[in-house]
């Protein structure tokens, strides 16, 4: 009994048909000439990282950008607070 070897690209394409396009597993398996058990296994292996990758590209990029901006603005605020204390102290010394 020979065993078919499929590339990862073929497997991912099969999973995309089920997960993203909404086709039934049995329909995709029959059309591609594979058994449904293989397709279920591939779906378990490939679908989770693909979903995480989609989330990572959009939301996580925005979160990283906002965190960097928050750090920059916080640093600017701290510098201004220190400058205010310095100039207030300097002004009170020059008045006396």
pLDDT digits (tens, 9 = 90+) for 7-50: 988 999 999 999 888 899 999 999 999 999 999 999 988 866 55
CA atoms within 13 A on the CB side of 33: 5
Residue 3 inside a domain? The answer is no
Residue 2 inside a domain? The answer is no
Note down the domain range covering 85. 8-95
Residue 54 inside a domain? The answer is yes
Q: Considering the entire predicted model, what is its pTM?
A: 0.47
| Domain containing residue 17: CATH number | 1.10.10
The torsion of the CA quartet 3, 9, 13, 19, rounded to 10 degrees, works out to: 100
pLDDT digits (tens, 9 = 90+) for 48-93: 655 565 666 778 889 999 999 999 999 999 999 999 988 888 777 7
Residue 30 inside a domain? The answer is yes
Q: What is the 3-state secondary structure (H, E, C) of the chain?
A: CCCCCCCHHHHHHHHHHHHCCCCCHHHHHHHHCCCHHHHHHHHHHHHHHHHHHHHHHHHHHHHHHHHHHHHHHHHHHHHHHHHHHHHHHHHHHHHC
- Whole-angstrom distance, CA of residue 50 vs CA of residue 8: 13
């Amino acid at each position: 009994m020979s065993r078919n070897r499929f590339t990862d690209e073929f497997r991912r394409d099969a999973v995309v048909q089920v997960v993203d396009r909404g086709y039934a597993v049995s329909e995709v398996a029959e059309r591609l000439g594979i058994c449904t058990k293989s397709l279920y296994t591939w779906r378990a292996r490939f679908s989770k990282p693909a979903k995480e990758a989609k989330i990572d590209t959009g939301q996580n990029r925005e979160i990283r950008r906002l965190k960097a901006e928050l750090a920059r603005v916080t640093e600017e605020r701290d510098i201004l607070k220190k400058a205010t204390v310095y100039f207030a102290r300097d002004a009170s010394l020059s008045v006396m």
